């Protein structure tokens, strides 16, 4: 082999690796780019997420907080895990708590307002008061998607009921007063609405876990003409047994008047979070027959006022047991099909079915203080919501395939005559304006 040929082969061997590098890059780069940008493959690659610490005053997420509660919480009541984001609690040495500036002569000033604003009458028809349904939930989102979904459906249920009966509805997810956290938040909401809406005659508070399950029934307003507060409860259990379970404060009706404002002021004195609420819890534990001495709750506080100041509050309070203004869910949710059959059977008497199904002890958003298993509560709420929803869907020719599913089916063909409904119930539900204008 000549030296010239050997030199040529050596140069070729030295130059051979040079074109391989761009070829490799040309082949590998698109694949690498695809791996990093494809949404289907991103999950396979480790990712780093950096979060910066927020100021100490920022809200603490209830799902990550490890701070234990300061006191036991009532079964079925909302936990007070928002304590960490609130200002320091009121001390026993501080001035007594008030909901706001004192209001006096409210009845006369409201009467003048109604006289000057006759476009907004307190009674929309003879014997038919203007009613505002008030409800609400926590300002924070649930720790699970199912809870938010259930709360949305429960609010839709209340909107349906109000629309059918021509009621107004107000939904709050704000804590209006930091002192009254947890289950006490309803008191400042009710007071603010009374003063802002003098045209409203009656306010009907319903908890977020209340489901209207008789969309046709309406409380007998004339029955309460001489009363300012309507609460589900039993006279003997309140005044004789002094039981904190003798009433339920999750669904009650209150009149917009001076008496009610005074009641809210007296009621709220026991509600400020911290030492005041704990000390009043001891007072309630001693005064009521079957209540331990944990922190004061709004229901026990109302029973305490009725028992200890009956002359002031008892005469104007109506304890309602003739229908289910509060219906405890465990004895109801498995009987909806039976109730529906009995209501359609001639000769069957008694209550058609509960006006309200109340999921006391369930926490739609979850939490360690729930009294019942989440799956049991969720299936019960699903049945209650579907049972109520069927009464609305039938107005439009549909119903659920069963109470255990959200799937619907058609049950009748449209006739093209919406005013010709021969079913009395459908006619009453479809046309709330007609119902508001005349007795049925």
3-state SS record for 73-104: CCCCCCCCHHHHHCCCCCCCCCCCCCCCCCCC
**Mean pLDDT across 96-125:** 94
- Distance CA(19)–CA(12), nearest Å, equals 12
Phi, psi of 152 (to 5 degrees): -65, -45
Of 179, 176, 181, 213, the residue nearest 196 (C-alpha) = 176
Whether 355 contacts 214, CB under 8 Å? yes
Average pLDDT, the chain: 80
Task: Find residue 356's DSSP bridge partners.
Answer: 212
Residue length of the chain: 440
Residue-wise pLDDT tens digits, 254-272: 999 999 999 999 999 999 9
Q: For residue 375, what pLDDT band results from cuts at 50, 70 and 90?
A: confident
What lies within 8 Å, CB to CB, of 175 at 6+ separation is 82, 139, 181, 185
Residue-wise pLDDT tens digits, 383-405: 999 999 999 988 888 888 888 88
What is the per-residue pLDDT for 63? 32
Pairing between β-strand 131-136 and β-strand 202-206 as defined by DSSP bridges: parallel
Phi, psi of 253 (to 5 degrees): -115, 135
Percent of the chain with pLDDT over 90: 52
**Mean pLDDT across 356-370:** 84
Take residue 313 and report the two structure tokens written for it.
């509050």
Of 173-182, 346-355, 370-379, minimum mean pLDDT range: 346-355
E-only strand ranges, 153-233: 168-172, 202-206, 210-212, 229-232
- Distance CA(189)–CA(240), nearest Å, equals 32
Q: In this model, does residue 117 exceed pLDDT 60? A: yes
Report helix, strand or coil for 356: strand
Whether 387 contacts 336, CB under 8 Å? yes
What is the per-residue pLDDT for 9? 53
What is the per-residue pLDDT for 418? 55
Phi, psi of 142 (to 5 degrees): -70, 160
Q: For residue 349, what pLDDT band results from cuts at 50, 70 and 90?
A: very low
Take residue 126 and report the two structure tokens written for it.
């003879």
Q: In this model, does residue 29 exceed pLDDT 70? A: no
H/E segment holding residue 136: strand 131-136
Q: In this model, does residue 195 exceed pLDDT 70? A: yes
Higher-scoring residue by pLDDT: 233, 61: 233
Alpha-carbon distances of 108 from 123, 146, 191, rounded to whole Å: 17, 47, 17
Alpha-carbon distances of 410 from 133, 373, 387, 413, 414, rounded to whole Å: 31, 34, 16, 8, 10
Q: In this model, does residue 129 exceed pLDDT 70? A: yes
Q: In this model, does residue 284 exceed pLDDT 60? A: yes
Of 10-19, 53-62, 136-145, 174-183, minimum mean pLDDT range: 53-62
Q: In this model, does residue 436 exceed pLDDT 70? A: no
Task: Find residue 233's DSSP bridge partners.
Answer: 247
Q: In this model, does residue 157 exceed pLDDT 80? A: yes
Percent of the chain with pLDDT over 70: 72
Report helix, strand or coil for 410: strand
Q: For residue 51, what pLDDT band results from cuts at 50, 70 and 90?
A: very low
Q: For residue 340, what pLDDT band results from cuts at 50, 70 and 90?
A: confident
Q: What is the 8-class DSSP label of residue 121?
A: -
Which of 217-226, 336-345, 356-365 has the highest mean predicted lDDT (pLDDT)? 217-226
What is the per-residue pLDDT for 5? 55
Work out whether the CA dihedral 62, 63, 69, 72 comes out positive or negative.
positive
**pTM score, two decimals?**
0.77
What is the per-residue pLDDT for 158? 97
What is the per-residue pLDDT for 56? 33
Alpha-carbon distances of 187 from 198, 399, 435, rounded to whole Å: 17, 38, 31
User: Please, what are the domains in the chain?
Assistant: 81-437 (3.90.550.10)
What is the per-residue pLDDT for 53? 37
**How big is the chain by its Cα radius of gyration, in Å?**
31
Q: For residue 94, what pLDDT band results from cuts at 50, 70 and 90?
A: confident
Whether 428 contacts 435, CB under 8 Å? yes
Q: In this model, does residue 416 exceed pLDDT 80? A: no
Q: For residue 415, what pLDDT band results from cuts at 50, 70 and 90?
A: low
Higher-scoring residue by pLDDT: 374, 438: 374
What is the per-residue pLDDT for 47? 40
Q: For residue 194, what pLDDT band results from cuts at 50, 70 and 90?
A: very high
Take residue 88 and report the two structure tokens written for it.
């320091």
- Distance CA(408)–CA(402), nearest Å, equals 8
């Amino acid at each position: 082999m000549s030296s010239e040929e050997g030199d040529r082969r050596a140069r070729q061997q030295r130059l051979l690796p040079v074109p391989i590098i761009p070829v490799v890059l040309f082949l590998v780069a698109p694949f690498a780019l695809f791996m990093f940008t494809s949404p289907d493959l991103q999950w396979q690659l480790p990712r780093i997420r950096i979060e910066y610490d927020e100021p100490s005053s920022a809200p603490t997420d209830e799902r990550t907080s490890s701070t234990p509660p300061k006191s036991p919480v009532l079964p079925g009541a909302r936990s007070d895990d928002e304590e960490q984001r609130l200002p320091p609690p009121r001390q026993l040495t501080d001035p007594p708590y008030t909901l706001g500036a004192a209001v006096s002569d409210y009845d006369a000033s409201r009467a003048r307002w109604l006289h000057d604003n006759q476009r907004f009458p307190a009674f929309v028809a003879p014997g038919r008061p203007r009613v505002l349904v008030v409800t609400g939930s926590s300002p924070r989102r649930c720790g699970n998607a199912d809870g938010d979904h259930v709360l949305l459906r429960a609010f839709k249920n209340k909107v349906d009921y109000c629309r059918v009966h021509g009621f107004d509805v107000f939904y709050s997810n704000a804590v209006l007063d930091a002192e009254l956290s947890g289950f006490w938040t309803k008191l400042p909401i009710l007071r603010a609405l009374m003063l802002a809406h003098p045209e409203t005659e009656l306010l009907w508070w319903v908890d977020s876990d209340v489901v209207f399950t008789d969309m046709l029934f309406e409380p007998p307003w004339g029955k309460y003409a001489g009363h300012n507060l309507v609460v589900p409860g039993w006279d003997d259990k309140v005044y004789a047994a002094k039981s904190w379970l003798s009433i339920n404060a999750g669904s009650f009706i209150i009149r917009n008047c001076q008496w009610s404002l005074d009641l809210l002021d007296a009621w709220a004195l026991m509600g400020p979070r911290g030492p005041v609420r704990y000390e009043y819890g001891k007072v309630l534990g001693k005064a009521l027959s079957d209540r331990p001495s944990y922190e004061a709750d709004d229901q026990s506080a109302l029973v305490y006022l009725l028992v200890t100041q009956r002359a002031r509050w008892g005469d104007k309070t109506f304890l309602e047991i003739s229908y289910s203004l509060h219906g405890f869910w465990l004895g109801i949710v498995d009987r909806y099909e039976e109730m529906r059959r009995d209501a359609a059977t001639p000769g069957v008497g008694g209550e058609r079915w509960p006006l309200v199904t109340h999921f006391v002890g369930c926490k739609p958003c979850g939490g360690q203080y729930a009294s019942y298993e989440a799956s049991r509560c969720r299936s019960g709420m699903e049945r209650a919501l579907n049972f109520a929803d069927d009464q609305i869907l039938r107005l439009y020719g549909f119903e659920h395939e069963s109470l255990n599913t959200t799937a619907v089916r058609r049950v009748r063909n449209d006739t093209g005559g919406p005013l010709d409904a021969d079913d009395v119930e459908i006619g009453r539900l479809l046309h709330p304006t007609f119902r508001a204008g005349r007795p049925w």
